[in-house]
Amino acid sequence: MIVLSRSQADKLLNARETGMGTISVTPDLGLTKCEVNVGEDGVRFPDVQWLGWDEVMRIRSSDVGCFMLEEGKLRKIQTFSEHTNRHISLMPTDGAPTLLVAGFPMHRIKGTDPSQDTLTKIETISPVIGRVLDTATGLGYTAIEASKTAEVVITIEIDPVVLEIAHLNPWSKDLFENPKIEQLIGDSFEVIQGFEDGSFSLIIHDPPTFSLAGELYSQAFYHQLYRVLERGSRLFHYIGDLESRSGKRVARGVVERLREVGFNCIRRHPEAFGVVGVR
């Protein structure tokens, strides 16, 4: 499968203008490169996939779309989730793509990119070892990063449609191939109730913004996070820009509720847009 976005379309159109021939482009949003043949009617990829100029123009006209080319058909990677009644799509950046849920990017993309965003979150709780709970799979970047050093990562996603999109994202490949990652489909709010007390050595809680998933910021949920964490272990909780007015307000409530359920040593991590608490 080939996945393309506007910057590859720009490069192909540029090659058409400056003369046909063979050029190098990325077929997987920047992970690898391949040689393609730029001809009068379109572009030929190494596996004999063919993309006409109309299709290249279609990709070029979308700022926020990623497109897959499979068996000669071009399709935008987007869908409507009947589960959550939200539009979900893959959005390109200069690095790893992000997930758009109801128009909200699920990773930081201003002044950073989703890969760096993931590393910054993980650094707040490193070393990442033992049994890790990742409460919100998304594109799986936090689960993939944590799995590099953890024994096992249990990751939960409420929306199967998100996982369908992740399947089409070249940057999410490890989510489906790494045996150290166990995927669960369900509502974290409910799934967490089935875990035993003290069964995790680290929790990464990276929920959507408060307005999309208020229950994941509730005291009842924090109580469960506390219960399933081993004594002395840490929780990273993504919140949003701690310097913004809304970020400050949400963070105040989060810290208060985390304290109420028993977390201590709660530290703000403005660089990671979140806080770390210890059980």
Specify the residue, 8 or 118, whose C-beta has the smaller distance to ligand SAM: 118
Given 2, 77, 139, 146, the residue binding ligand SAM (CB under 6 A)? 139
Specify the residue, 274 or 277, whose C-beta has the smaller distance to ligand SAM: 274
* Cis bond before residue 127 (omega within 30° of 0): yes
Question: Per rule CB under 6 A, is residue 189 in the interface with ligand SAM?
Answer: yes
Integer Cα distance of 13 and 68 in angstroms: 18
CB of 56 closer than 8 Å to CB of 43 = yes
Closest CA to 244 of 106, 136, 110, 88: 110
Given 123, 187, 230, 241, the residue binding ligand SAM (CB under 6 A)? 187
Identity (one letter) of the amino acid at 209?
T
> Mask 212-251, x = binds ligand SAM (CB under 6 A)?
-x--x-----------------------------------
* Phi and psi, residue 213, nearest 5°: -150, 55
> Mask 96-115, x = binds ligand SAM (CB under 6 A)?
-----x----x---------
The C-alpha angle 102, 212, 76, rounded to 5 degrees, equals 20
Question: Per rule CB under 6 A, is residue 157 in the interface with ligand SAM?
Answer: yes
The DSSP string of 207-233 is PPPTTT-GGGGSHHHHHHHHHHEEEEE
Question: Per rule CB under 6 A, is residue 174 in the interface with ligand SAM?
Answer: no
Specify the residue, 74 or 208, whose C-beta has the smaller distance to ligand SAM: 208
Residues interacting with ligand SAM, by CB under 6 A? Answer: 101, 106, 118, 136, 138-142, 156-159, 162, 187-189, 206-208, 213, 216
